[in-house]
C-alpha cells in the first residue's frame, strides 16, 4: 500500500478506482488533487525540507490563527486513538501525540508528503493511503478523526463522512477545517496548480453530517479577516 516517492508507482496515485464495500467511494483524492500535493511535496523535498527540523510544537486549524481553537477542540485525547486524514508533514499530529498523549495515526495519500512527515517525526504511525482506503482496511477502533484542510474537503463529502461515521467509536468525535464557500473560487490554486476543493455551507455540512448519523454538529468561522475564510466543524457519534 505504501508506495514510496520515486518508486515509479505513480499510477497508484490516480485515485479514481473504488474499493469493494466502499459504496462507490473513490479510494483516492482523485488525479488532480493527489498530483498537486505530490508535486508540492517533491518541490519541498528538492528545496531541502527533509533536512530541516520541525518548528516548535503547535496545532493549527487555520492559516492565520484568527479564531483558532487549537488542539483543545479535540478534548482530552489521552490514550485515545486519533486519526488525521490528510496529515501532510504531520506537525499537527505530532502535537496531539507529544502534548496530548494520544495514539496518533497520520494518513496521507501523497508518498512524498508521508516521506516529509517521516523525516520530521521518526517512529510515528504514518500511513501512505487514501483516506477512504485507510478507513476501509484499518480495523482498530478510532476515537477521534480529524482533518486540517485535508481529505475532508478534498474529496466528495457524503461518502467520506459516511465511512468515518462507520469507523468511529461511540462516543467519538469528527473535527475538521475546510475552506468556507462564498467568496472563494471553486478551484483555488496551489502554487499555480489547480486542486479541487469540495465546498459546502455550514448548513449543508450540518445536514450531510446528520444524514450520515452524526449529532451535535457545530460550525464556526475562522480566518475571518482573510479570503477565503475557514470553516471549522465538529460532529459527534
DSSP structure string for 118-144: HHHSTTSEEEES-HHHHHHH--S-EEE
Outline where the chain has alpha helix (H): 31-46, 91-98, 111-120, 131-137, 157-167, 202-211
5 part of the interface to ligand SAM, by CB under 6 A: no
The only residue of 12, 13, 25, 33 in contact with ligand SAM, by rule CB under 6 A:
33
Q: Is 163 helix (H, G, I), strand (E, B) or coil?
A: helix
| Secondary structure letter of residue 74 according to DSSP | G
Q: Is 42 helix (H, G, I), strand (E, B) or coil?
A: helix
154 part of the interface to ligand SAM, by CB under 6 A: yes
Q: Which of residues 102-131 bind ligand SAM (CB under 6 A)?
A: 107-110, 113, 130-131
| Secondary structure letter of residue 47 according to DSSP | T
68 part of the interface to ligand SAM, by CB under 6 A: no
Among 4-12, 62-70, 88-96, 178-186, the segment contacting ligand SAM (CB under 6 A):
88-96
The only residue of 71, 96, 97, 155 in contact with ligand SAM, by rule CB under 6 A:
155
Shortest distance, position 43 Cβ to ligand SAM, whole Å = 13
Q: How many residues bind ligand SAM (CB under 6 A)?
A: 23
Q: How many CB atoms lie within 10 A of CB 207?
A: 13
Shortest distance, position 115 Cβ to ligand SAM, whole Å = 11
Shortest distance, position 87 Cβ to ligand SAM, whole Å = 6
234 part of the interface to ligand SAM, by CB under 6 A: no
To which residue does cell 450520515 refer?
Answer: 212
Count of CA atoms in the C-beta half-sphere (13 A) of 36: 19
Shortest distance, position 88 Cβ to ligand SAM, whole Å = 3
Enumerate binding residues for ligand SAM (CB under 6 A).
Answer: 28-29, 33, 37, 85-89, 92, 107-110, 113, 130-131, 148-151, 154-155
Amino acid at each position: 500500500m505504501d508506495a514510496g516517492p520515486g518508486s515509479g508507482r505513480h499510477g497508484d496515485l490516480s485515485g479514481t478506482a473504488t474499493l469493494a464495500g466502499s459504496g462507490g467511494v473513490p479510494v483516492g483524492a482523485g488525479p488532480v488533487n493527489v498530483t498537486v500535493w505530490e508535486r508540492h511535496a517533491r518541490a519541498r523535498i528538492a528545496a531541502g525540507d527533509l533536512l530541516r527540523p520541525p518548528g516548535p510544537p503547535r496545532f493549527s486549524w487555520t492559516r492565520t490563527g484568527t479564531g483558532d481553537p487549537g488542539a483543545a477542540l479535540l478534548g482530552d485525547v489521552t490514550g485515545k486513538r486519533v486519526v488525521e486524514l490528510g496529515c501532510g508533514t504531520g506537525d499537527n499530529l505530532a502535537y496531539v501525540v507529544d502534548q496530548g498523549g494520544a495514539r496518533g495515526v497520520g494518513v496521507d495519500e501523497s508518498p512524498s508528503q508521508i516521506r516529509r512527515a517521516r523525516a520530521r517525526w521518526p517512529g510515528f504511525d504514518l500511513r501512505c493511503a487514501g483516506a477512504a482506503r485507510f478507513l476501509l482496511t484499518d480495523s482498530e477502533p478510532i476515537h477521534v478523526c480529524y482533518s486540517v484542510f485535508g481529505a475532508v474537503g478534498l474529496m466528495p463529502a457524503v461518502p467520506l463522512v459516511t465511512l468515518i461515521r462507520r469507523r468511529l467509536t461511540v462516543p467519538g468525535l469528527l473535527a475538521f477545517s475546510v475552506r468556507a464557500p462564498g467568496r472563494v473560487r471553486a478551484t483555488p490554486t496551489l502554487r499555480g496548480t489547480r486542486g479541487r476543493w469540495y465546498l459546502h455551507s455550514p448548513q449543508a455540512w450540518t445536514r450531510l453530517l446528520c444524514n450520515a448519523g452524526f449529532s451535535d454538529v457545530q460550525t464556526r468561522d475562522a480566518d475571518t479577516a482573510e479570503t477565503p475564510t475557514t470553516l471549522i466543524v465538529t460532529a459527534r457519534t
